Structure 1
Amino acid sequence: MAFSADELRVLRRALALALHPAPLPADEVRECLQLAGSVDEAIREAGRLRAFLLADLARYRTALPGSATGYLELLQDALAAGYRPQPDDLASLRSLRHLPLAAALLARCQGIAERSVRARLARSTAGPSGAAVPAAPAPRTRLTALPGGRADIKPARPAVPGKPAPADDPAKDRPVPTPAEAFPPRKRPVPPGERREAS
């Protein structure tokens, strides 16, 4: 899209106004509206030309192989306008790959198709906010000590080989249970004959 010198002046003024809002005279407002209308019309015209180009491309593709020259030229124009090749285009180019231009266009279209597939896959794995969803579970959050908690912890003493690791300080305040407390003796069952004698 090309702008004339007057249109560029109006566009520059509109951009400056967007950065630093200020009241405009009526004639400048009218010029901005006219420029906006011209841009809208150019966009609509570009859409119409694109539709005609794609319709011609489909007609030439249907008439292959007799229309190979016209089809390849139209495909070049369509790609320059941002057209993404369809599976029918790739199949048609494969059938024409004996032509140097068709072989070059096939390589170009395959590259465009691969990038398009990758972009679709990236969008499909994106979350609602647009951030990519991790394929594996996220690592667990690192635990941090509460404020003041780490200051009270004394450094651990290194373990001596062959000796058990020293117990923590809180364990020293606890009484160590005796074996009888830890493993109370079980009462032996009395045989039935002895029960009768005792009674």
Structure 2
Amino acid sequence: MAFSADELRVLRRALAQALQPSTSPTPPHPEDVHDYLRLADAVDEAARESVRLRTFLFAELVRYRAALPGSATGFLERLNGALDSGYVPLPDDLAALRRLRGGRYDAMLRRCEHLAELAVRARLEARIPAPAGAGGARAAAALRARLYALPGGRCAADLPPRPSRPVPTPGEVFPRRRHPAPPPDPEPEPASPPQPSPPEKPGPPAPEERATG
């Protein structure tokens, strides 16, 4: 971020005002206050513009990486600009550079591998706790120190007396109602014995028997 000559003069006045002894501070001039606010707005706008630019560069990098190998030149330019703005190369970027061949791509691959390794080391160092030195020993001793009662606390006499018998629970005071048991199923009726079939009636005599008679 670069400042103009006028902005640098305003920044110097603001720093001088901030570094004054707190015993006898001099109130700033109204015009100086106006310049301070205008400089703060300009810095905020520049920061927002930087975020928008980085977002655009990263989106362009993803688009050119997806169009490889036809967009190799554009991908290399976007990756270089993203690295200059603080971009940490991703595994997809390293894989894309390994697929490309050439002196420029090999140099960019070495640069990206170095930056990725530094980022991994920084994350690992942030996760590993620092060794306990003299300060850690003092903190542990303070944790093991005896606790003392502070003035204004409550002693045992101020606490309400404990009941002689335990307080009944809501389940004991209001027991659940027992639902009546369902009636038993009716017993099945015995099967009736089979009825005898009626005797068959004799049929009419045959014609031959009638003729002989």
Give the TM-score, by structure 2 length: 0.59
Q: Does 1:94 align with 2:98?
A: yes
CA distance in 2, matches of 1:89, 1:35: 39
Deviations 1:133-174 (Å, cap 9, x if unpaired)? 47xxx9xxxxxxxxxxxxxxxxxxxxxxxxxxxxxxxxxxxx
Deviation at 1:100, TM superposition (A): 1.1
Structure 2 counterpart of 1:79: 83
Q: Who wins on radius of gyration, i.e. which is larger? A: 2
CA distance in 1, matches of 2:58, 2:26: 45
Q: Does 1:119 align with 2:122?
A: yes
Q: Does 1:6 align with 2:9?
A: no
Asked if 2 retains the 8 angstrom alpha-carbon contact of 1:125 and 1:133, the reply is: no
RMSD: 1.6
CA distance in 2, matches of 1:15, 1:99: 51
CA distance in 1, matches of 2:51, 2:93: 21
Gaps spanning 5+ residues in structure 2: where?
A: 137-213
Structure 2 counterpart of 1:19: 19
- Report percent identity of matched pairs: 59
Q: Which runs of 4+ in 1 moved over 2 A?
A: none
Gaps spanning 5+ residues in structure 1: where?
A: 127-131, 139-199
Question: What does 1:5-154 align with in structure 2 at a 5 Å threshold?
Answer: 5-20=5-20, 21-96=25-100, 98-126=101-129, 132-133=130-131
Letter in 2 for 1:115: L
CA distance in 2, matches of 1:77, 1:33: 32
Deviations 1:101-140 (Å, cap 9, x if unpaired)? 11001000100111111111100012xxxxx147xxx9xx
